[in-house]
Chains A and B, each alone.
Chain A
């Protein structure tokens, strides 16, 4: 039993060396010259403007998810459309059921208001902004 630990240790040591040998060698012999200009963002030789990280609106996420539904639908409909004439009425029923399921999904998304780009479910002054009373209508 005891000698197995030695074998495992040898395996570990070799694995460690194989993994880190490249790192160690390049650390020792690679020339380095880290100037500020070199570590700067590469922008085709121009002076970089703004942040390198681009931010997308979170609403694109929902749109992308909805897109995938119809994307997959089209992928499945194309081969069906090609062989539709030979396959007969049964496949028509099957695809019809498939499309109904997806249409239910679309209806759900529609009802939930995810197809609207601008979401105006909350009235001004309602919800968590009610305490601040930003747009309270004047009452006489």
Chain B
């Protein structure tokens, strides 16, 4: 944490500054560009010209050092789970996770007999937004990103935490 994080009582100056910081943070949801299964195709489609994620400030980054949001797009196999965990750990703070599709949410079609699939990516990384669907349409991914923006805008950066 920086020296000023969560140090101040809420007043009009601090909440305004928090709003400004949250606004700038939520306006640049740079997501980590990696896909695991068919959801990644929908993610590519969402990033491409027709749906154009960049109008929400979301752009794909190839390195976890530059990414703010990790979109877990697809089936997390047990082999891949260790890699997903490592990639999440290598992202810089603040970091958010979107679990995209049934497989990442809960194992999806592999729930009962998938001996090789992690039953939900929230077992290894903290998930902020779940997007249902198999696979979710690009519009659903956009809605997830907008919900994440909403969540980012309610955060406290300088003000003390509520709890």
Contact = CB atoms under 8 A, between A and B. Distances in A.
A40 interface: yes
A50 interface: no
A28 B93 contact: no
Interface in B2-24: 2-5, 21
Interface string A18-33: 0000000011111111
B86 A29 contact: no
Interface of B: 1-5, 21, 63-65, 83-84, 86-87, 89-94, 157-158
A31 B84 CA distance: 22
A45 B86 contact: yes
B84 A29 contact: no
11 contacts: A26-B2, A28-B4, A29-B2, A30-B93, A31-B2, A32-B93, A33-B93, A35-B89, A38-B89, A45-B86, A46-B83
Contact of A42 (B2, B21, B65): B65
Interface string A42-84: 1011110000000000000000000000000000000000000
Contacts of B92: 38
Contact of A31 (B5, B83, B87, B90): B5
Name the residue among A37, A45, A47 with the largest chain B CB count within 10 angstroms.
Answer: A45
B64 A27 contact: no
A47 B86 CA distance: 9
Given A45-B83, A45-B87, A46-B83, A27 B2 contact: yes
A126 B20 CA distance: 73
B157 A29 contact: yes
Interface residues of A, number: 17
Nearest to A31: B93
Contacts of B158: 29
Contact of A28 (B3, B63, B65, B86): B3
Interface string A79-119: 00000000000000000000000000000000000000000
Contacts of A42: 63-65, 90
A31 B89 contact: no
A29 B157 CA distance: 8
Contacts of B65: 42
Contacts of A27: 2-3
Contacts of B94: 31
A33 B84 CA distance: 18
A98 B92 CA distance: 56
In the A-B complex, the 5 residue pairs with the smallest Cβ-Cβ separation, listed nearest first, are: A45-B83, A31-B93, A37-B89, A28-B4, A45-B87
Contacts of B2: 26-32
B1 A40 contact: no
